[in-house]
Amino acid sequence: MEFERYCVIDVETTGLSPRRDRIVEIACALVDGGRVVDGWSTLVNPGMPIPAPATAVHGITDRMVAGAPELCFALSHARRLCRDRLIAAHCATFDLSFVGPSLGTQALCTMRLARALFPEAPNHKNQTLREFLCIDRLADEQLQAHRALGDAIVSAHVLIACRRRFRLYRPERSWTRFVARRAMVTSRYDTAGAFAV
């Protein structure tokens, strides 16, 4: 059996457009095989006011990020954590569009993976899968929704659950080939300074 090492990332932002909006929080959850082995997060000073609708989602305010590091420092640390690991994210196209080539241009999308391996889930949003897969019990902690570390840990457990189900029902097939065909997202950096997917 392949021993996989992943860095599951999540970002919270000032909005949905990678061209206009900025990261306000970034997190990494490290997965070795079937275990979450570490987690890290930091607030990020976006260099712009955080719109009220964004704060309503993640609860991050201008005051909270006033003394936070700039994005280049946060990405530098995240890059060290992701070294020699496959990057993963829930709805990976979104996260890749914000982190740019700093972390990579390819990632495993846990949403696509869950669609393929848990088709019976009510939907494949992160918080729905959190409840459907009883992730709070598995993580043995109450995770904060719509904050980068909580969401990254949920996504990490979604990945682990998908890997476990794949081994159970498709033991003769290659996980690596399955992931490459069903769950990998590749993005390219366009000339306007944003990722095109």
pLDDT-derived band at 182 (thresholds 50, 70, 90) equals very high
CA dist list (Å): 87 to 37, 40, 66, 81, 133: 15, 14, 29, 10, 22
Q: What is the average pLDDT value for the chain, to the nearest integer?
A: 92
Give 37 or 191, the one with higher predicted confidence.
37
Environment class of residue 105 by beta-carbon count within 10 Å: exposed (0-12), middle (13-18) or buried (19+)?
A: middle
pTM of the model: 0.93
Q: What pLDDT was estimated at residue 140?
A: 78
| Residue 149 near residue 30 (C-beta atoms within 8 A) | no
**pLDDT tens digit sequence for 70-113:** 999 999 999 999 999 999 999 999 999 999 898 989 999 999 99
Domains along the chain with CATH numbers: 5-184 (3.30.420.10)
Q: Label residue 191 by pLDDT band (50, 70, 90).
A: very low
- Contacts of residues 119-126 at CB distance under 8 Å and 24 or more positions apart, as own/partner, are 126/90, 126/91, 126/151, 126/154, 126/155, 126/158
